Amino acid sequence: MSAGICWEIVFDGGSKGNPGRGYGSYRLRETGGEWEPPVELNFEGRRTNNEAEYLSLTGALRGLAQRVADPSAVAITVRGDSKLVLEQLAGRWKVRTASLRPYWAEAKQELERFGPVTFAWHGRQNSVDLLGH
């Protein structure tokens, strides 16, 4: 399947304490364009770092889906420093932690709305440079 429109997502999540107060952020850009300003997220309840990573990505996917007329016509590249989230969603790693399965399932469901998806891991400093945390 070839998608005519391409977008990039960069996401990051964390918690103050682990578990603790969860937070995250993401940025979007149409490929080749400028990054949009960061969207900051705060999550209710106590979250682990990995839960906050998943919630941040899910928020980004929902945000992008609201921006485009037909998500199924959009190819996306998902960038982040959470190797766990990226590898699990790509299907290369199993979701072994039972408490992460609902977060994985929710993110997977959001991803299915889009055209082709590419996952790209980057180092922590890239997230800091783009998102500020």
* Each residue's pLDDT expressed in tens, for the chain with a length of 133 residues: 445 799 999 999 999 999 999 999 999 999 999 999 999 999 999 999 999 999 999 999 999 999 999 999 999 999 999 999 999 999 999 999 999 999 999 999 999 999 999 999 999 999 999 999 8
Cα 50 from Cα 42, distance rounded (Å): 14
**63, 40 contact by CB (below 8 A):** no
* Domain boundaries, given as residue ranges, for the chain: 5-131
Give the right CATH number for 5-131 from 3.40.190.170, 3.20.20.10, 2.60.40.1230, 3.30.420.10: 3.30.420.10
